[in-house]
Structure 1
Amino acid sequence: MKKYGTMRWLLTVAVASLLHLASPAEYLLPGDVLPRHYDLKYAFDIDPATNFSFYGIVEILLDVKHETSKIVLHATDFTISAEDVTVTGPKSPKVTGTRLNDTYNLLTVSLDCKLEQGKNYTLTIPFYGNLKQGLDGTYISTYVNKQTKAKEYLIATQFEAISARKGFPCFDEPMYKATFTITIGHHKDFSAISNMPLVNAVSENPLEEIWPWTQIEETFKKKKADFVWDTYEKSLPMSTYLVAFVVSKFSYVQSPAELSKTKFRIWARSDASDQTAYAAVTGPKALSYFEQWFNVSYPLPKQDMIAIPDFAAGAMENWGLITYRETELLYDEKQSSFLNKERVAEVIAHELAHQWFGNLVTMKWWSDLWLNEGFATFAASVAVNHVEPTWNADMSYAVDNMLSVLSLDALESSHPVSVAIDDPKRITEIFDEISYRKGSTLIRMMTMFLGDEVFRKAINNYLRKYSYANAEQDDLWRELTAANQQYGGLTRNVTVKEVMDTWTTQTGYPILTVTRDYDDKSLSIAQRRYFSLVARTATRQSWWVPLRVLCQPEVGNANMPLQWLAANEGLQDLHTFRHGAGREEWVLFNHDMIAPYRVNYDPRNWQLLIRTLKMEDYTQIPVLGRVQLLSDAFALAWTNHLDYNTALSLASYLQREKDYLPLSTGLKALSKIENVLKRSPDYGAFQKFVRKLIGETYEKSGGLATKRIINGKDLNSVKMQVTTSAWACRVKVPGCEENAMQLFQQWMDTENPDENNPIPLDLRRTVYCVGVARGSVLHWRFALAREQRANVAAARDALLQALTCTKEIWILAQYLEWTITEGSEVRRQDAGAVIANIVRSPVGFYVAKDFIYDRIEDIYNAFKGQGRRIGHIMKILLDQFTTQTELDNFLSWRDKNARFLAESKLSVEQAIEKAKVNIDWIAKNRQSVVDKLREFSMESSDEELEDRALRLGLTHDAASATSLHALLVLLAPLYIV
């Protein structure tokens, strides 16, 4: 065993050397000393004349675990004066040198003697520099006060994942938890907030006694009298990525005290403080509910939430000071849509869930990021369901999460939920759908097979056991297994770890092939990994799959037993079991979407399911069952596991679907076909099919006619109207674009359009896009002017997206140029979204592709430290590819520009695979699918035929139904494409 271990180690080193992968010893801190407390002091000069200079000093109390003559920690993006670094403690060690490893930002402090094991020492490091206009670390940001028209500055932080080292010298790995006492010096016109409550604000400079340089006196000499120094309470033990502070001229609204015992404040620009009311109620409600749900009290005395004008992420869960994009925290009843409101509630709940899962208990290393993000994503649905019970958030979030997982995780280049990370610079790549959405989907799966009560008891034990410490997924599995053994839940004498490791340590998910024996009421199941690319060969992977099987005679039975397909069952030998459906009755797997897998049935069972969907009472099949069927049918047809005749026949029932979730699922599935046809001569056939599918629902939902807009109190109705309207205009349903142009023109003709907008809130994105796309340069400039003057982030966001809809190539080129131009009309946080939206449009694709290819170095410099954004752009770009020539050109370009894509390696691999999927589909399916689309489009009832005939000036007397149908087929190209 010892020899084998040595050989394995040598092999690992050899492979790492060949692949240029780093070994953990290179990028992880050695762990010889541990930080126990940071005393961190700053002085910020928020003045462009001094280039936003700052001075700081950090004193770190260290606990020595192993004798060592060096201290290794992280630091970058500021200057350290080596001669002023000191270490105090037993034997008074002297600093003999400092060295910085730029590759991994490691700062090594060498000493003249060894630090003694078990003793405490204090490391003192003075540092200084100039704040940059970025989106990570400690950065300077600007905005214009809409009331005073003055340009204002603020300082914000974004330290996750490895940017605390850009703010101060520290042990910047999640397992090195410590307490913090923070002091911030700033001009008295500003206010500062941090993780903990303010203890005091004084005018004396606490840096003067310690700071060895005269520069601080010169810099602040004239401003000294105007400076205040804010000191905050000592924090609880936390990881460095959760440290936060903001220095600004913002104002706040305090939440009503009766909503939570925790002091809640919502901060925003002073001219946007009236947009904080919804967050001020939703936040405390969600926090109080989490205290009950986790059965663990929130441990801090206050919770600040602040909207930052320029912010890279949607939000960041810093303990006690959650930072948000404005669109994710602020809500204005007159300018924000219902969907904006839903998004605000979701993000607030997500970040507050992190205060327990992530902050109180933190993963040991970023490999288990999903423990943070997956749990917060799942818990958000639980809290929103409590705060806004009519929204059915638990169901809608579950669908959104699972469908996203089923798409990305079908790629061979996907990654496991618990993923090895060989380079800290690539940590940001796993902040993706797998960590967030698959993580959430698997946690929901556990609540369903263990039971809510067992699950919550285990989570309570887990949180209490690992409070203020770190854990990994095996620690969670142990608590869940223990609770299961005590209270029951999981059958077949299997541990939670055995089940869940098949889902978290493996990439992908299974496809179950179900074949029925219609004579003896039995069926057989096979499992194997599902791939989007048909050419992929089957692997030996297998999963523990929870099976909820609904038979037609059992519709309405609330006590469906849960069965299991064990790992390795159905892999070589088919797994069989009996069921209760007769020859003419269907069987449906996964009708509650308990787990992420696809199911393919034998042809007869598919037809039995389709027959029921086409009946008046199609709701015999539950809502989530209809979602699963639509998603599976189109995915399986895409990969040639199922014929498109079956998939399109199933989808045709959507003409009568009244629930948003199945309808949106079907349309999302169809959008994959749209994506590969929209730049082809066959796009008209696709548009025609969708017109037939949604035309009636579009009208019944309210359409774009102003008099028929539904009062936005029913979220399902609003989503139906928003979705069908967007699709109706896209596929040229008669009257849709004309109504949109009419509404847009009314807005242009309105006196004071910034205050008076006649376009219904939830339909503005659709109307704006049509207005800009079909309008002239005048319409584009009008929309741009409204975006510049808007004071509500949600309104700005809708207009920013609409501006990408223009078909004027020179305008698109100009808009793209703004994304990499400092101080332009496009804020740094929005640049990636603007490029991605232009790439998606049929006209913009060609302009954006050339822009990306020609200006990648400028894009890289503009997005420095944001490899995830470049990776997202690459995914969007390659998802538009439909020819091998396009892919070959990209591959050649990639090889020449590899240095700009180094931090987006995984995203680029996934993008290339998605392009191959598209190209493969075009070769194998395009013509047959287009023929089927045309065929299904022409299948019409007598009433539909009469209606078309009347629009053509024909009468029913002119021909029989049969001959009329033939005539309309001949005339079809003349009146509709």
Structure 2
Amino acid sequence: MASDRDVLPDNVKPTNYNISLFDLQTSAPWTYQGKVDLDLQINKPTTSVILNTHQLKLHSASITVESGKHGSAIKSSDISYDTKNQRCTISFDQELPQAKKAVLSIEFEGTMNNHMAGFYRSKYKPAVEPAKGVAKDEDGHYMFSTQFESSDARRAFPCFDEPNLKATFDFSIEIPDDLCALSNMPEKETRKSKDGHKIVSFEKSPVMSTYLLAWGFGDFEYVEDFTRRKYNGKALPVRVYTTRGLKQQGMLALESAHQIVDYFSEIFGIDYPLPKVDLLAVHEFSHGAMENWGLITYRTTAVLFDEYASDQKYRNRVVYVVAHELAHQWFGNLVTMDWWNELWLNEGFATWVGWYAVDHLHPDWNVWGQFVTESMQMAFQLDSLRTSHPIEVPVRNALEVDQIFDHISYLKGSSVIRMLASHLGVETFLKGVSDYLKAHTYGNAKTNDLWAALSKASGMDVTTFMDPWIQKIGFPVVTVAEEPGQISVKQSRFLTSGEVKPDEDQTVWWIPMGLKTGAQATDAKREALTEKEDTYRDIDTSFYKLNADQTGFYRTNMPPQRLVQLSKSLDKLSVTDKIGLIGDAGAMATAGEGTTTGLLSFLEAFPAEDNYLVWSEVLSSLAKVRSTFSSDEQVSEGLRKYSLKLTTDAVEKIGWDFQAKDDYLTGQLRALLLSSAGLAGHEKTVAEAQKRFKSFMDGDKKAIHPSLRAAVFKIAIKNGGKEAYQAVQNEYLTTTSVDGKEITLQSMGQVQTPELARDYLDFGFAKVATQDLHSVGMSLSNNAKTRLTVWEYTKANWPMIRERMGGNMVVLERFLRTCLQKHASFEVEKDIESFFKDKDNEGYDRGLAVVSDTIKGNARYRERDLEVVREWLGANGYVK
């Protein structure tokens, strides 16, 4: 309800912003001057205007109220700041009358910060000689851009920074005359200003939310293509902008973008509404990308790709992130959520339809298999904790919203949309989406508006069966009991901890059964499960599988014997079926509703598998088991031998060399198997990796295929100690590859001693960009030998870490979550709780709660199954 929100007063409403920025200091103190003329509608008489500001200094304000003929300017009598709530009150000595138009003029000063929020600077190393006007200091060269979502437009200019307070925007900026400026709209005019500078003005934007405004400037160049469809009689220009010397690496994104703009225009039944599409690569970026209307900004590894030097997995990433952000141009930008509690509407839909577009462009990638093994399993992981939240989560204040940009909003949201689209039929679903977009164009909408459009398009009551999925926390597990010719099913809430209390198990979900049965594994049309329990008759119990192709967002708990039977019928299962069964078996083991020994026996059916996505799920399920029991040396060694046996035949079959006929998934499988087998100690793989590593470090850059760098670097560091670690550290400092820094950071976590782990953390905080520090901590916490070192280091250096990342809570929260949640010890969980007890944890408190819940679940799992696993490993010859 709106009354539950802490929002700005409704006595005034913005209609247009005319923003001009000038006197930009492109060196310390990095300040700029600004002026905004803000057209307002005054809804009721008032003596003050309250709007959002954060870290801005307002020099002066005056208002002109248009009445009769012309109004005269009234200067403000006082400007006061509410720093905690990021608001500013501009007061006047006389009452401002109700008016259709008033112009509030504010002169202000801001800072181009280095927190990746608001209007900020990004440090980079130029690929070629940069233009003279490029900002630089002893640390590096800089480009400048914005990141306003969710509520950081207020860091750049005074504004009404709420999603449903839409307005139009005019924007101009003064920059050095050899640099390039960009904004949401095309350039309107450029005129010379003071010596060596120019003022660039842009066309007026459509009506939109403040968080979608964007601008950037720097030493940019671009590659360009055009849409094939005509928009208002002409093709639209699509460009990928980079800092000078990198534009050719934008070709993959460019080729994808123009096709996706046309595809979405077609399937949504609404033409892309702006006159251009720009994609800008930003060197320092807290998220993956940001959907600013007409000027989409990206982290470099999410938009740039070198055909000859990039790991092939980034090809997939670039195409998907481009599609996701382009989906927002309609779903989020053209029609915007009414308030932040409906963030999932934006992100869940863009995630699903982003993959839908990638599948359209690259059907051979099996993106839905990827979705099930990556996105869905990640959503399950977070949503099986008590500390999860509903998809649609109450947000009282915009400052709370950053912590719900998480796997629930994106991945559970998209999983539930996939389930619904599959049930309604994708064409019907997209028809409903198109109707929804047309009904709310340039406006704001709520979840129920989408349900209403989908109900109308499908003739079904979508609201009734979707509400529990959106409004309630968690998801169900369907437990199956077999009798001759029939199965009984029971739904209950699933928790990783396995201890669901009666008051936590009140929800009855609508669950599409997706039943396959019989010798041919054909689809058996069955009603959805809408009760706590039900029985399905006429089942051929020689073979059946629930949740066909894993389209339903729920776990299944099969009888142990059924899992054994299914392991003998893998040929009847789709890739997504296999992934779902493995993920479910692993989750049941963790929660104590199944057994780890049942999972290990089931995985023994997969050594002959040749699909990358299935192997990915096999090995990630196994990694969870190995991580949980890693503190017991005997069991840990037994599981290492088990891993080695599981991967040996497959790794020897696939080999090191890429063939011309290899498709994308084969290449990814090779990288995965070599990494897994090598890290488990497969002797031939280790020897070959060390040989190639030495040649590479001696200068033969072709000794390692770009997609195998991560595997080789990790194996080399694990087996080569300090020397190999230092060689990869040097590679981090010197690499010019767009993905080189990410790959080296992930690899250095394979150090085997606390001393090298501490060295790596020191190196990280001295040399690594803030956006990537979580990769340092995560790679070390994924390694059982160095996990505790990360926590000890965090405690010992907390003031420095808090200071370094505290300017952007998204970055700090991500660091803590990824670095701490792998532990499986009640003692460590208590230590973390005790350490943060007296700290101000606002902005990352939700992340700490998730860490606590996850560690407790891991510790319970370890306690419960350790001896059973030891016994099984002994019985099967893996431990003596």
Would you say 1:894 and 2:836 are equivalent positions? yes
- Mark the CA change 1:819 to 1:645 in structure 2 (over 3 Å): closer, same or farther: closer
How has the CA–CA distance of structure 1 residues 499 and 713 changed in structure 2, closer, same or farther, with 3 Å as cutoff? same
1:920 and 2:872 are equivalent in the alignment: no
Q: 1:689 — aligned with what?
A: 642
How many Å separate the matches in 1 of 2:595 and 2:727? Answer: 48
CA contact (8 A) 1:368 1:473 kept: yes
Secondary structure of the residue aligned to 1:176 is coil
1:319 aligns with 2:276: no
Report the Cα distance in structure 2 between the residues aligned to 1:113 and 1:242, rounded to whole angstroms.
Answer: 34
Match of 2:164 among 167, 171, 175: 175
Q: Does 1:654 align with 2:606?
A: yes
Unaligned runs of 5+ in 1: 1-8, 10-21, 205-223, 939-971
Match of 1:565 among 529, 532, 540: 529
Q: What SS does structure 2 have at the residue aligned with 1:417?
A: coil
* From 40, 46, 59, the counterpart of 2:19: 40
> Does residue 631 in structure 1 map to residue 597 in structure 2?
no
Q: Tell me if the contact between 1:73 and 1:108 (Cα under 8 Å) persists in the aligned partners.
A: yes
| Residue 133 in structure 1 maps to residue 83 in structure 2 | no
Given the two structures, how large is their TM-score scaled by the length of structure 2? Answer: 0.94
CA deviation digits over 1:140-180, x for unaligned, max 9? Answer: 22222133388422211111111000000000011111100
Q: Is 1:759 equivalent to 2:704 in the alignment? A: yes
Give the corresponding residue for 2:784: 842
Q: Which residue of 1 aligns with 2:125?
A: 144
Aligned partner (choices 237, 240, 249) of residue 210 of structure 2: 240
Residues 878 and 95 of structure 1, relative CA distance in 2, 3 Å threshold: same
User: What letter is aligned with 1:889?
Assistant: D
Q: Is the 8 A contact 1:692 1:937 kept in 2?
A: no
Which of residues 504, 509, 513 is equivalent to 2:479? Answer: 513
- Distance in 2 separating the partners of 1:421 and 1:929: 44
SS of 2:77 mapped into structure 1:
strand
Counterpart secondary structure, 1:547: coil
Partner residue of 1:591 out of 548, 561, 565: 548
SS in 2 for 1:735: helix
Q: Which amino acid aligns with 1:325?
A: R
> Counterpart of 1:856 in structure 2: which amino acid?
W
**Does the CA contact (< 8 Å) of 1:144 and 1:152 recur in 2?**
yes
Per-residue deviation, residues 109-134 of structure 1 (Å, max 9, x unmatched): 22334433352111111001332222
| SS of the residue 2:683 aligns to | coil
Alpha-carbon deviations, 1:773-799, whole Å to 9, x = none? 332544333323332222222122212
The C-alpha deviation readout for 1:547-578, integer Å capped at 9, x for no partner, is 111112342x3x54252111xx12xxx31221
Q: Are 1:742 and 2:684 matched, yes or no?
A: no
CA contact (8 A) 2:113 2:121 kept: yes
Is 1:600 equivalent to 2:600 in the alignment? no
1:357 alignment partner, one of 326, 331, 339: 331
1:463 aligns with 2:451: no
More helix by share: 1
Matched, 1:576 2:535: yes
Deviation at 1:262, TM superposition (A): 1.7
Corresponding position: 1:291 with 2:248? no
SS in 2 for 1:902: coil
Aligned with 2:804 (options 848, 852, 862): 862
For 1:61, the equivalent position in structure 2 comes to 39
Cα distance, 1:937–1:393 mapped onto 2, change above 3 Å: farther
Give the distance between the partners of 1:420 and 1:780, measured in 2 at CA: 46
Give the deviation of 1:462 after TM superposition: 0.5
Q: Give the Cα–Cα distance (whole angstroms) in 2 for the partners of residues 499 and 258 of structure 1.
A: 40
**1:842 is paired with a residue of what secondary structure?**
coil
CA distance in structure 2 between the aligned counterparts of 1:800 and 1:257, rounded to whole angstroms: 38
Equivalent residue number for residue 213 of structure 1: none
Question: Of 185, 201, 207, which residue of structure 2 is paired with 1:231?
Answer: 201
- Give the one of 707, 714, 723 matched to 2:663: 714
- Alpha-carbon offset, residue 325 of structure 1: 0.8
- Aligned-residue offset at 1:645: 3.7
Letter in 1 for 2:63: T
Residue among 399, 404, 407 paired with 2:381:
407
Deviations 1:637-691 (A, max 9, x none): 2222123343222211011222222222122111111112223312111111111
- Show CA shifts across 1:430-459 (max 9, x none): 111110011111111111111122111111
Could you tell me which runs of 5 or more consecutive residues in structure 2 were left unpaired when the two chains were aligned: 131-135
* Aligned match of 1:280: 254
Q: Indicate the SS of the match to 1:71.
A: strand
Contact 1:176 1:239 in 2 (8 A): yes
Contact 1:38–1:58 (Cα < 8 Å) also in 2: yes
Partner amino acid, structure 2, of 1:58: V
Aligned to 1:788: 733
C-alpha contact (below 8 Å) 2:747/2:779 kept by paired residues = no
Shift in Å, 1:257: 5.8
Distance 1:937 1:846 in 2: 30
Contact 2:690/2:712 (8 A) holds in 1: yes
* Shift of residue 415, structure 1, vs aligned partner: 0.6
Is 1:250 aligned to residue 231 of structure 2?
A: no
The normalised TM-score by structure 1 is: 0.85
- Partner of residue 102, structure 2: 121
CA contact under 8 A between 1:158 and 1:244: conserved in structure 2?
yes
Once structures 1 and 2 are overlaid, which stretch shifts more, 326-335 or 270-279?
270-279
Q: How does 1:310-349 map to 2 (within 5 A)?
A: 310-349=284-323
Larger Rg: 1
Separation in 2, partners of 1:108, 1:819: 42
Q: Cα offset for 1:80?
A: 0.6
Shift of 1:381: 0.9
For the residue of structure 2 that corresponds to 1:545, the secondary structure is coil
Between 404-413 and 859-868, the greater mean CA deviation after superposition: 859-868
| Distance in 1 (alpha carbons) for counterparts of 2:472 and 2:747 | 40
Partners of 1:548 and 1:563 within 8 A in 2 = no
Alpha-carbon separation, structure 1, partners of 2:50 and 2:857 = 46
Worse-superposed segment, 247-256 or 497-506: 247-256
Q: CA deviation at 1:94?
A: 4.9
1:203 aligned to 181, 192, 195, which one?
192
Sequence identity percentage: 28
Deviations 1:311-347 (A, max 9, x none): 1111111000011111011100121011011111111
Amino acid paired to 1:915: I
Paired residue total: 861
**Contact persistence 1:44–1:185 (CA under 8 A):** yes
The answer on whether the counterparts of 1:378 and 1:443 sit within 8 Å (CA) in structure 2 is yes
Q: 1:735 to 1:662 in 2, by over 3 A?
A: same
After superposing the two structures, state which structure 1 stretch, 716-725 or 912-921, moved more. Answer: 716-725
Per the TM alignment, residue 406 of structure 1 is displaced from its structure 2 partner at its CA by 1.5
Check 1:447–1:44 CA distance in 2 against 1; reply closer, same or farther (3 A cut).
Answer: farther
Paired with 2:316 and 2:31, the residues of 1 have a C-alpha distance of: 40
Counterpart residue number, 2:282: 308
Change in CA separation of 1:642 and 1:53 when aligned onto 2, cut-off 3 Å: closer
> Counterparts in 2 of 1:99-114, with a 5 A limit?
99-114=80-95
- Say if 1:44 and 1:195 are closer, same or farther in 2 by CA, change over 3 A: farther
